[in-house]
Amino acid sequence: MQKQLSEFNNYLSVEKGLAKNTLESYNRDLVKFVTFLNRHNIDHPGLINSSIINLYLGELKNNHNSTSTISRSIASIRSFFNYLLEEGIIDNNPALELVSPKIEKRLPRVLTTSEIDRLLDQPKASEQKGLRDKAMLELLYASGIRVSELIGLNLSDFEPRVGFLRCKGKGQKERIVPIGSVAINSVSDYMNKSRAKLCKNNGEVALFVNQHGNRMTRQGFWKILKKYAFKSNIDGYITPHTIRHSFATHLLENGADLRSVQEMLGHSDISTTQIYTQITRRKIREVYDKAHPRA
């Protein structure tokens, strides 16, 4: 089924326009599934039924995969068979009636404003890399963009005079995000004092570059964030998404409306954004319990 799998990946990329990370997730899930089928000498999708798929899902569970991993695998398999059905390769979708396991929604980790301040104060503005790191961290918190969007920024995407940032999100959807004066100044300082010295290629269009003068990578930024998180003595594990979560929560705590936050985050469904209202409600409850004499 390698041929069908390759054609499905091309279909998701070209016709559906899915982001690279989403494509990789689909491919990982389906490669594992096809490997399982090969072990059981099943070499054609028409031979697969719901019992075989459930046997595979049981194997995932026995191997201690999380419910979110199993749920994602079901979605990938279901989409694959929908594609095969549309192409006339199979007559029915054996994954159609699979029930995804219920995933317990965990509230995302959010930093306090004082923790954010400590983190953003770590890079040294006296160093070339420090100016770059400061600019990336300030911009991430000021805009709430994803790490993939941050490293994907080009010079032309930064508009300091109008206070906006242009970025491409999932599915290459472009959106305009406002940014504040602190982030604008930090990025401008980096561009004026540091970028030209770090960038060895005059033709490089990336806004943020690494020590080799090439576009900053996801892994490179993760290392940078990990270093400053350690220096700032913040308890717990911090990821780029932690800053994104903090951005959204702090906006809502200070009176921003949900629709505006949804647009800034680039969420297609407002229900995705609504999880942050649970965090703000939880904080309100904590304040009430501490402050009210009859709480």
Per-residue tens of pLDDT for the chain, all 295 residues: 788 888 998 888 888 877 788 888 899 999 999 999 999 999 888 889 899 999 999 999 899 888 888 999 999 999 999 999 999 999 888 988 887 776 656 667 889 999 999 999 999 988 999 999 999 999 999 999 999 999 999 999 999 998 999 998 877 788 999 999 999 999 999 999 999 999 877 789 999 999 899 999 999 999 999 999 999 998 888 999 999 999 999 988 888 888 888 888 988 888 777 777 776 676 666 655 776 565 5
CATH number at residue 183: 1.10.443.10
Residues 183 and 136 in one domain: yes
**107 domain-assigned:** no
What's the N-to-C CA distance of the chain in angstroms? 62
Residues 45 and 168 in one domain: no
Q: What is the pLDDT of residue 294?
A: 56
Boundaries of domain holding 42: 2-86
Residues 137 and 242 in one domain: yes
289: helix, coil or strand? helix
> Whose CA is closest to 16, among 91, 68, 71, 86?
86
Catalytic residue numbers? 146, 170, 241, 244, 267, 276
**Helix H segments across the chain?**
2-14, 20-39, 50-62, 67-86, 113-120, 128-143, 147-151, 181-193, 195-198, 218-231, 240-253, 258-265, 270-273, 275-291
What does pTM read for this prediction?
0.64
Task: Measure the CA–CA gap between 246 and 265, rounded to whole angstroms.
Answer: 12
Residues 140 and 250 in one domain: yes
**102 domain-assigned:** no
**148 domain-assigned:** yes
Q: Which of 86, 105, 139 is the last residue of a domain?
A: 86
Q: What is the pLDDT of residue 180?
A: 92
DSSP 59-87: HHHHTT--HHHHHHHHHHHHHHHHHHHHT
Contact 153/208 with Cβ under 8 angstroms? yes
Residues 8 and 127 in one domain: no
Residues 52 and 120 in one domain: no
Burial state string for 42-61 with b = 16 or more CB within 10 A and e = fewer than 16 = eeebeebeeebbeebbeebe
**242 domain-assigned:** yes
| Counted domains in the chain | 2
**104 domain-assigned:** no
CATH number at residue 28: 1.10.150.130
Residues 141 and 9 in one domain: no
